[in-house]
Every structure is written in structure tokens, then in C-alpha cells.
């Protein structure tokens, strides 16, 4: 098991969500943007990404590219995303299609090398908290082996209270700390959105970092800028301001 405090980087978090396409990358990108503004050397890591397109001889994934564009230190893709898979499907299936096996031990080795080069590392999971990675392990096993505080992104739509509370229980069952959570609107027609957020806030024993509304018509850095404006990372447990780190 990795203890982030034993490495050169002073800060690290694992970003998970209540499902896939729930806004994890938006939140991770916003965190990197905020850290960069604080002059904290940072990098993003998405150990497993499923769904890639070939451009100029290089395989690209939108989530991976977003994290790289927001990080203050861009590190080799083979370290930041050791398992970049082509099919946009469950990662263990995509890996099987390529005759590969997603190995947590290799991800941990890449994490260590990344952590030596930055002061903050934002690690984004794939899909929800318990997505299979191979025949024996899933993303919860990866999070447990990394032993990082977790940031949960809750996709606001019908059923989100159940999904969020089950995920919170799963995080706790792995002995992990929930450092904060974000409410991200997935369905902008959802009824009683504010009441759902209030119900979750009453039941989740971690700070609410903010509510991101459905943002339309923006992409790339403009979208991240809009997301940042709705979040307050000073509430996040372990954020640099709470550690008293002298910032430049």
C-alpha cells in the first residue's frame, strides 16, 4: 500500500464518481487549474482510459488530454496513463480486446515515478468506484492500494442519492478517507435538485466543495474556467491552504 505522505509530493487525491460520464475529469481539471494558480507544481494521472482516437500517429483520449492541458507539469503519457485503451467500453473488456492485462502493480510504479517530480498529483479513476480492471481487481482495489484521500463526484440525476450513499459506504469499507464531494448536474431537468443536494449534504460526512450546474456551449479551457467558478477547494481536506504550505 502506498502512503502519499512518504513521497516527495505533498498533496495527492483520488477522484471517483457515482458512474461514468459524471464529471470526474471536469473536477480533476479544475483542481489542477486551482493548484497551478497557487504555484503548486502539479500533474494529472488517469491510470486507465478507455476510448482513444489516432491523430498524427499518436493515440489520444479526451480525458487524458484535458488533464495534461491543465497540469503545470506535463509528464510522459506512458506514466500518466499507463493503460490507454482504444475501445470506449469497460476497461477490462477493452484490455482483453488488445490482449493486455491491466496491472495495478504497474500503475503503482508509474504513480511513484510521477510523485517524485511534482508537489501535487490528481489521480482520476475510470468509471465508477467499482469498475473491473482485470479478472480479480477493480478500481476500488486501485484506490485502496494508492491509499489517497478520495474526492467523490456525484452526478445529479434521478437515483443519485442512492448511488452516492452506496459509493460513500464502499469508500469507507476500503478504509479510505472521503476528503470532499462535488454535486455535478447531469440532468438539467432533474426535479428538486436543491433538495437532493441538501439530502446528500446531511448524510455525507465530508465537505461539499460546490454545485456545478449543467454548462452548455463551452469546451476545453473555457469549460474548466466555468467549472472552477462553482467550486471552493479551500474546503477540501488536505488542500494546500490547510497545510500551511508557503506558496510562491
CA-CA distance, 6 to 33, in Å (whole number)?
25
Catalytic site residues? 46
Q: What is the mean pLDDT of residues 187-210?
A: 97
Class (C level, CATH) for 4-236: alpha beta
pLDDT, the chain, mean: 93
**Pairwise pLDDT comparison (58 vs 242), residue with the higher score:** 58
Which pLDDT belongs to residue 56? 86
pTM above 0.85, yes or no: yes
Q: In the structure grid, which three cell numbers stand for residue 121, read together?
A: 498529483
Which pLDDT belongs to residue 57? 86
Residues 87-130 pLDDT 10s: 999 999 999 999 999 999 999 999 999 999 999 999 999 999 99
Which pLDDT belongs to residue 70? 97
Amino acid at each position: 500500500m502506498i502512503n502519499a505522505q512518504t513521497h516527495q509530493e505533498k498533496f495527492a487525491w483520488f477522484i471517483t464518481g457515482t458512474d461514468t460520464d459524471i464529471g470526474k475529469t471536469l473536477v480533476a481539471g479544475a483542481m489542477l487549474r486551482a493548484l497551478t494558480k497557487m504555484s503548486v507544481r502539479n500533474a494529472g494521472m488517469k491510470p486507465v482510459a478507455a476510448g482513444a482516437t489516432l491523430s498524427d500517429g499518436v493515440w489520444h483520449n479526451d480525458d487524458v488530454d484535458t488533464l495534461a492541458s491543465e497540469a503545470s507539469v506535463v509528464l510522459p503519457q506512458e506514466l500518466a496513463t499507463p493503460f490507454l485503451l482504444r475501445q470506449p467500453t469497460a476497461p477490462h473488456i477493452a484490455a482483453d480486446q488488445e490482449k493486455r492485462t491491466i496491472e495495478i502493480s504497474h500503475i503503482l510504479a508509474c504513480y511513484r515515478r510521477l510523485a517524485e517530480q511534482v508537489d501535487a498529483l490528481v489521480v482520476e479513476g475510470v468509471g465508477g468506484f467499482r469498475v473491473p480492471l482485470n479478472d480479480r481487481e477493480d478500481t476500488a482495489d486501485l484506490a485502496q492500494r494508492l491509499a489517497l484521500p478520495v474526492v467523490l463526484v456525484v452526478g445529479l440525476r434521478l437515483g443519485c442519492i442512492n448511488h452516492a450513499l452506496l459509493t460513500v459506504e464502499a469508500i469507507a469499507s476500503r478504509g479510505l478517507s472521503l476528503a470532499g464531494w462535488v454535486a455535478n448536474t447531469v440532468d438539467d431537468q432533474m426535479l428538486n435538485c436543491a433538495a437532493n443536494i441538501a439530502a446528500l449534504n446531511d448524510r455525507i460526512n465530508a465537505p461539499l466543495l460546490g454545485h456545478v450546474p449543467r454548462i452548455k456551449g463551452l469546451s476545453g479551457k473555457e469549460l474548466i474556467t466555468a467549472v472552477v467558478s462553482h467550486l471552493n477547494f479551500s474546503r477540501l481536506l488536505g488542500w494546500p491552504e490547510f497545510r500551511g504550505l508557503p506558496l510562491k
